[in-house]
């Protein structure tokens, strides 16, 4: 009987992933990562629900203390990014440095398993022609999470199972109900775990970054309003500027050197190309020349056609067929060929 370690967050998706594999005859071990520092976090609802699911399925449950790793790789990463005027994407960073890598290492060294599974909506296939594992979109495009998984290595893909990759969310709920799982009707998380635990991103950042009042200006330097910290804004933001104007204004630049939030109309926030760094080629080896692909520059955006030009080490230049609004430094750009994730990286400028 093959042993598999399933990452259990206490949500319905990971619960059903464990149930499916258990039903398929796997020797399943539930593993929950203890991520949050602070009073009461050791008894979070998610951890309690994960333990309950393991009891319902009659499988062992392990809890691993990852609080220091999460603090360094996610909390400090977010705070540093926002203070530098970028908008970090913590989920892809968390998947690589906190979840998949450490989980697979723990499974191998402590639990005698070389396979992990999670409740992510994505698929993995092996291409015998290229001898590479391929990361693919989930069948349910509305729930597809491949955008957040672009940074996984071949080693991690080889040791991972995504049981929900061919299901839609309704299927997942039905399976949870059929198994009588406690999480069957549990509401879905609507935001980042750090945001949910702090109430808002502003509240989270205010714990680490002091107010730093400055001016909101247009592209000519005219003062239009005041802000209480550049870190409270993001490229493309329209709401919450507190500016009365004849036309909609958007954040088009965050100037941390001069402590300015620069705003303008939509045309001033539109660009034809961008540089992407920390690139990971997933389903293909790094190409020797230019390729074409469909690129997503944020999680919920529609893929758009672009030319992908490999540059210096771990960097590419993206040239879009049509100018794109709100290309945001710190977010991920992920390029696809159909359902296949070719690669991705972090938008630099």
Active site residues: 94, 193
Please list the residues that pair with 217 across neighbouring strands: 223, 262
Query: In the β-sheet with 27-34, what is the strand arrangement from edge to edge?
Result: 61-65, 27-34, 3-7, 116-117, 160-161
Alpha helix stretches (DSSP H) within 229-322: none
Q: By three-state DSSP, how is residue 137 classified?
A: strand
Distance (Å, rounded) from C-alpha 149 to C-alpha 99?
Answer: 11
CB atoms within 10 A of CB 278: 14
DSSP labels, 308-330: EEE-STT-EEEEEEEEEE---TT
- Listed in sequence order, the residues at least 6 apart from 26 whose beta carbon sits closer than 8 Å to its beta carbon are 1, 2, 3, 4
């Amino acid at each position: 009987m093959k042993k598999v370690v399933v990452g259990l967050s206490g949500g319905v998706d990971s619960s059903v992933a464990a149930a499916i594999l258990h039903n398929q005859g796997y020797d399943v071990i539930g593993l929950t990562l203890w991520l949050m520092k602070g009073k009461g976090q050791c008894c979070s609802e998610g951890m309690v629900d994960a333990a309950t699911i393991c009891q319902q399925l009659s499988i062992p449950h392990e809890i691993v203390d990852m609080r220091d790793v999460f603090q360094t790789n996610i909390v400090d990463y977010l705070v540093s990014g926002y203070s530098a005027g970028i908008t970090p994407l913590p989920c892809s960073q968390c998947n690589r440095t906190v979840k998949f890598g450490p989980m697979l290492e723990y499974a191998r060294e402590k639990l005698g398993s070389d396979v992990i599974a999670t409740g992510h909506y994505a698929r993995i296939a092996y291409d015998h022609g290229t001898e590479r594992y391929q990361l693919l979109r989930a069948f349910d495009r509305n729930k597809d999470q491949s955008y957040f998984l672009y940074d996984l290595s071949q080693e991690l893909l080889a040791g991972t199972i995504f049981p929900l990759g061919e299901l839609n969310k309704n299927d997942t709920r039905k399976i949870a109900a059929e198994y009588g799982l406690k999480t069957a009707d549990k509401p879905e998380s609507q935001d980042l775990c750090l945001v949910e635990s702090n109430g808002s991103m502003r509240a989270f950042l205010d714990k680490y970054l002091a107010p730093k009042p400055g001016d909101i200006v247009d592209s000519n330097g005219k003062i239009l309003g005041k802000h209480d910290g550049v870190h409270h804004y993001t490229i493309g933001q329209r709401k919450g500027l507190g500016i009365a104007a004849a036309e909609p204004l958007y954040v088009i630049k965050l100037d941390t050197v001069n402590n300015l939030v620069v705003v303008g109309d939509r045309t001033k926030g539109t660009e034809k190309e961008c540089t992407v760094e920390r690139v990971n080629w997933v389903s293909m080896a790094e190409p020797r020349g230019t390729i074409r692909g469909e690129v997503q520059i944020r999680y919920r955006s529609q893929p758009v056609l672009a030319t992908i030009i490999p540059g210096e080490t771990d960097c590419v230049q993206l040239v879009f067929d049509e100018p794109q609004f709100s290309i945001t430094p710190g977010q991920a750009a992920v390029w696809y060929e159909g359902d296949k994730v070719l690669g991705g990286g972090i938008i630099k400028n």
